[in-house]
Amino acid sequence: SQQGEEDPQALSIQEGENATMNCSYKTSINNLQWYRQNSGRGLVHLILIRSNEREKHSGRLRVTLDTSKKSSSLLITASRAADTASYFCATDWTSGSRLTFGEGTQLTVNP
Amino acid sequence: DAGVIQSPRHEVTEMGQEVTLRCKPISGHNSLFWYRQTMMRGLELLIYFNNNVPIDDSGMPEDRFSAKMPNASFSTLKIQPSEPRDSAVYFCASSPTGANTGELFFGEGSRLTVL
């Protein structure tokens, strides 16, 4: 089974609202990454947070990591229609050798 | 700078035919990954190379799939013979670091349809 699981599977909001997506994982990790995928395109890296970090910011993005709960959240503030995409978390297992992606959250931002 | 370049972008073929997907990683990146994306199974890692050497091919579904990286600037993923269940989007990604320490740079994907 895949390491990461995103929640919710789909999210629809209005432009200007904040969007929060969650990711849970099962085993210890070195780092956790978030990627965005626009329809019909490849994945684009957004942000990486290491296991010893608790929060990280990049522009309108805020990522948190709670290793005790094995979960992470991605917050997009002041959303825009252009943020409409699928968002994936990817985990790097400390005991494994592969970067594993979750199922993704489909975010729709309505103008 | 050019990103990861994949070809073809779209391929439609008939069951039993050989399919070859190509990838040119970003210059200077020493790790290359092949992923497959389907609605049912999401993104699956098929194989990854480090310095042109296959490190982990445990994700390759079966012997019909093979991948090569003859040099640092080129890789192929071959399916022979192809089957309808191979229909998916195949992504190539490269990384300037080891497999699990940094971000991946993805190509735009090759959408394969096997009839």
At A97, the pLDDT band (50, 70, 90 cuts) reads low
At A2, the pLDDT band (50, 70, 90 cuts) reads very low
Q: Give contacts of B4 with chain A, Cβ < 8 Å.
A: 42
B45, A98: Cβ pair inside 8 Å? yes
Q: What percent of chain A has pLDDT over 90?
A: 76
Instruction: Output the furthest CA–CA distance in chain B (Å, rounded).
Output: 39
Average of per-residue pLDDT across A3-21:
90
Mean pLDDT of chain A: 91
Distance CA A92, CA A39 (A): 25
Q: Give contacts of B100 with chain A, Cβ < 8 Å.
A: 30-31, 92-93, 96-99
A45, B105: Cβ pair inside 8 Å? yes
**The token pair that represents A78 in the structure block:** 């002041």
B108, A93: Cβ pair inside 8 Å? no
Per-residue pLDDT of A63-87, as tens digits, reads 999 999 999 999 999 999 999 999 9
Average of per-residue pLDDT across B77-90:
97
At A3, the pLDDT band (50, 70, 90 cuts) reads low
A11: which strand partners?
Answer: A107
**The token pair that represents B60 in the structure block:** 């390759």
B70 cis-preceded (ω within 30 degrees of 0)? no
At B11, the pLDDT band (50, 70, 90 cuts) reads very high
Q: What is the DSSP secondary-structure string of A87-106? A: EEEEEEESSSSSEEE---EE
* Whether B51 contacts B58, CB under 8 Å: no
Closest to A2 measured CA to CA, from A100, A111, A110: A100
* Whether B80 contacts B19, CB under 8 Å: yes
Question: H/E/C letters for each residue in chain B?
Answer: CCCCEEECCEEEECCCCCEEEEEECCCCCCEEEEEEEECCCEEEEEEEEECCEEEECCCCCCCCEEEEEEECCEEEEEECCCCHHHCEEEEEEEECCCCCCCCCEECCCEEEEEC
Distance CA B70, CA B67 (A): 10
B106, A31: Cβ pair inside 8 Å? no
B107, A45: Cβ pair inside 8 Å? no
Write phi, then psi, for B30 (nearest 5 degrees): -110, 0
B101, A33: Cβ pair inside 8 Å? no
A90–chain B nearest CA distance, Å = 10
* Whether B79 contacts A79, CB under 8 Å: no
* Whether A77 contacts A17, CB under 8 Å: no
| Predicted pLDDT of residue B21 | 98
Query: Residues of A near B (CB-CB distance < 8 A)?
Result: 2, 30-31, 33, 35, 41-45, 48, 88, 90, 92-93, 96-104
State yes or no: pLDDT of A1 exceeds 70. Answer: no
A48, B103: Cβ pair inside 8 Å? yes
User: Which residues touch B21 (CB under 8 Å, ≥6 apart)?
Assistant: B6, B7, B8, B11, B76, B77, B78, B90, B92, B110, B112
A99–chain B nearest CA distance, Å = 6
* Whether B4 contacts B22, CB under 8 Å: no
Interface check B74 vs A, CB under 8 A:
no
**The token pair that represents A41 in the structure block:** 């395109």
At B55, the pLDDT band (50, 70, 90 cuts) reads confident
Average of per-residue pLDDT across B64-89:
97
- Select the residue from B103, B105, B106 to test the A interface by mutation, using most A Cβ atoms within 10 A: B103
